[in-house]
Amino acid sequence: MADDRGSDGHGRGEWAPLADQLGQRATADGQPTRWFDELWSAAEGEEIDLPWDRSDAYPPVSREVEALGPGGGRRAVVVGAALGADAEALARAGWDTTAFDISPAAVRLATERYPDTQVDYRVADLLDLPADLVDALDLVVEVFTVQAMAPAVRDDAIAGIRRLLAPGGTAVIVQFVRGDTDPDDGPPWLLNEAEMRSFATHGYELTSLTVEPNPRPTGTTPIWLGVLSRSA
C-alpha cells in the first residue's frame, strides 16, 4: 500500500498500521464496517494520532463545488465525514449540509472540533441509509469512503451513493486509482476504471471521469474524480 493512500497524501501516520490491522480483521470476521469505529475510538482515546486529519476541504471537491455556484440553501451531504473539513466548507458556501459517519467516535470528534457548526452531524450507515436522506440530496460528496469498504460490500456502497441523490442531483466522487500492481489486501481497496464507471446505471450518468495528480504535496498515487448526475 503506497504511503499517501493511508493518510490522504500527507504520508502514513501512527494510525495507518492500526487501520490496516483492524480493517483486515473486521473483513475476515464478516463485519467489514466494524473497523471504522474501532479506529476512531482509538483516536478519541488518544492512543493514536487523528486519522485523515485535515482542516481544509479536499481540493478537487472545492473546485467542483465552486463550479456549482452558491448553495442557496440546497441540500448537501458528506459521506464518511470524518473530522468535517469538507462538510464545513459546504456549509460556508451556503449549502444546507448533513454529514454522516458510521463511527460515533468520529462524529463526536467532529462536533468537538466545530462546536458552533451549522452542519447536521449524525451517525449513519451508507449501507442502511436513514429514510430522510434517500432520494433527497442535491449534492453528495464522497471522498475515499467507498475504497475503505471491502469488495464484498462495494456494490452496496456504490448503490448507497446513488440512493442519496435527489432527481437532478450531483455527486462528487473521489477515489485513488488502482494500478495493475496494487495488492488486493486493504484497506484501502482501490478502484479501477470499471468500478468507477459502475456508479452510473439507468437514470444516473457519469458526466465526468478523470484521472488527476494527487493534490497533496507528498502524494504520489493519482486520483479518480468522478461527477455523477441523476436525471431530473
CATH code, 114 = 3.40.50.150
Q: Residue 212's CB: how many other CB atoms inside 10 A?
A: 14
- The answer to the question of residue 18 being in a domain is no
Q: Is the pTM of this model over 0.85?
A: yes
Contact call for residues 181 and 174 (beta carbons, < 8 A)? no
In a domain, 132, yes or no: yes
- Identify the pLDDT of residue 216: 83
Written as one letter, the residue type at 192 is N
E strands in 46-164: 75-79, 96-101, 120-123, 137-143
| Closest to 137 in 3D by CA, of 89, 71, 70 | 71
Is the peptide bond preceding residue 187 cis, with omega within 30 degrees of 0?
yes
pLDDT at 225: 97
Domain limits at 163? 53-230
Residue 159 lies in a domain: yes
Domain assignment present for 32: no
pLDDT averaged per 10 residues in sequence order, the chain, 232 residues: 42 78 95 97 94 92 92 97 97 97 98 98 98 98 96 96 98 93 84 96 96 87 96 94
Residue 183 has a pLDDT of: 73
Strand order in the sheet with 165-176: 120-123, 96-101, 75-79, 137-143, 165-176, 223-230, 204-212
- Does 139 fall in a domain? yes
* 58 found inside a domain: yes
H helix count then E strand count, the chain: 8, 7
The pLDDT value given to residue 1: 34
How many structural domains is the chain composed of?
1
- Separation CA 157–CA 146 (nearest Å): 6
In a domain, 73, yes or no: yes
Cell numbers 475503505 correspond to what residue?
148
Residue 69 counted as domain residue: yes
Q: State the pLDDT at residue 4.
A: 47
Residue 14: per-residue pLDDT? 83
